[in-house]
Chains A and B, each alone.
Chain A
Amino acid sequence: MKYMIICVETAEDFAKRNDPVQAGPYWNSWSAYREAVAKAGIFVSGAGLAPPEMGTTVRLRDGKRLVQDGPYSDAKEQLGGFFVIDVPDLDTALSWAARCPGAAYARVEVRPVLQMGD
């Protein structure tokens, strides 16, 4: 089954990416994780996302395109990045999610990816 490991971060977590002290460990831990996932042969896809203030929201209403700056919600926690992995079951996916750097400082959600045709 395919699962998405969704890493949800706060503004402070996003700030670590550019913090002179924390940026090093932050990026190192993510590339190490990415490498481990690839080595295990379970990597399907994955990406880190620019912070929510870089988001632009689009809606189509009555044929008109409404574009707004900022993320779709004002939630304190925002999507920071994701991995899609292919493993036999939820328990294996949870083990991989627990190893993901985000699990230690933020929150990680694991969701099954729908198969086409489901």
Chain B
Amino acid sequence: MTDHQAQAAVDRVARESYGRLVAYLASRSRDIAAAEDALADAFGLALRHWPKEGLPRTPEAWLLTAARRQLGKAERHARVIRSNEAELTRHIEEALEAMTHGEDGMADERLKLLFVCAHPAIAAEAQTPLMLQTVIGLDAARIARAFVVPPATMSQRLVRAKARIRDTGIRFAIPDTPELPARLDAVLQAIYAAFSAGWDAMDGVAGGELSDDAIWLGRTLVQLMPQQTEALSLLALMLHCHARRAARRRGDAFVPLAAQDTALWDDGLIAEADGLLVMASRGEGFGRFQCEAAIQSVHAARKATGRVDAAALETLYAALVRLAPTIGAQVAAAAACRDAARGLAMLDGVASEAISAYQPYHAVRADLLARLGRGAEATHAYEKAAALALDPAVRQFLLARMTQA
């Protein structure tokens, strides 16, 4: 094993253990911040010792033992108030005890933690960052970069959310059946928001790596709730998009999906995504993420068949608009219309106050107008879209299209 591989193995185990340990301790004390503080030094030690000494046989027991030792040094931990410390030590003892007796060791409470992070009593803007920090262990500065928020603002948001969880007494539990669909949807939305933040930022740009973190969360959720079709579908959706990462740019230029070189698409990820979709199709109902993943699957099939099934796309987008009537879905459905005039009519039906600053609306409108031979109007719409594009590569692409309209 090279140093690099050793480090990667350590990082992987540390990440897996981090979420499990925070979840275990916090689900008992409701105090996420105290659990994080207690574990921070233990992880620092692990990242120094493990690459040299190899992974311990039971990494979590090693980490908990280190955390307990750190807690003992009370004076060094002005951040952790003493009453919490005694309670935390007790929970750590419990976990260590469980590990020596139980075959699976300590219970995996990460699912409960995910539901707490996406609890409706937590501010919407804090939910995804909270998940990234507590379940994966990302630091606030990196999360702030990904969401284009000053680091101090993000830290404060996270501190507030954790204090709220502790002080309002939010329950660490998997929601009861009547509430489960809505609560699970909030978890899925929060994971997808992390993926989108990474996706919009593109590779190399600050925050681009968040897509990997979101996929990791998606995998964790599927592992914890393998029967939930929407969890399977969200992972499938993210993997389909991720498979095309290498094809999204040619040099610095933006490459739209239809023009992407399918040789650059990742076969392994596509196969995994489609496998997940097959599993999802065995469940009941047809959800929003299942529909979105199916749309991406139709696009992915171009790699094997050389063509895009436009009729299937049109049908799926119509279904998506019914399942999740967002502006994004409506605009995408209009773009998928084989009849440009019908697409334009659909766009005209989108609420007007929502579209003035929505770049895809103007880009799709421009495209449809160009297809109908209405060059002057198309040029005007391309101008609007280009002015709204935040990504310089996308702006260039739209301006190039404009000259052809």
Contacts and interface: CB of A to CB of B under 8 A. Distances in A.
Interface of A: 1, 3, 88-94, 112
Nearest to A118: B167
Interface string B105-122: 000000000000000010
Interface of B: 121, 167-171, 173, 175
A91 B167 contact: no
B340 to A, nearest CB: 48
B167 A88 contact: no
Contact of A88 (B121, B168, B171): B171
8 contacts: A3-B169, A88-B169, A89-B170, A90-B121, A90-B169, A91-B171, A94-B121, A112-B169
Contacts, number: 22
A92 B121 CA distance: 13
Contacts of B175: 91
B276 to A, nearest CB: 31
B171 A112 contact: no
A16 to B, nearest CB: 28
Contacts of B168: 90, 112
A112 B171 CA distance: 13
Given A90-B168, A112-B169, 11 more contacts: A1-B169, A3-B169, A90-B169, A90-B171, A91-B170, A91-B171, A91-B175, A92-B171, A93-B169, A112-B167, A112-B168
B128 to A, nearest CB: 21
A112 B121 CA distance: 13
A89 B171 contact: yes
Contacts of B121: 90, 94
Contacts of B171: 88-92
A93 B119 CA distance: 14
B218 to A, nearest CB: 25
Most buried by B among A1, A92, A94, A112: A94
A112 to B, nearest CB: 6
Nearest to B30: A89
Contacts of A89: 169-171
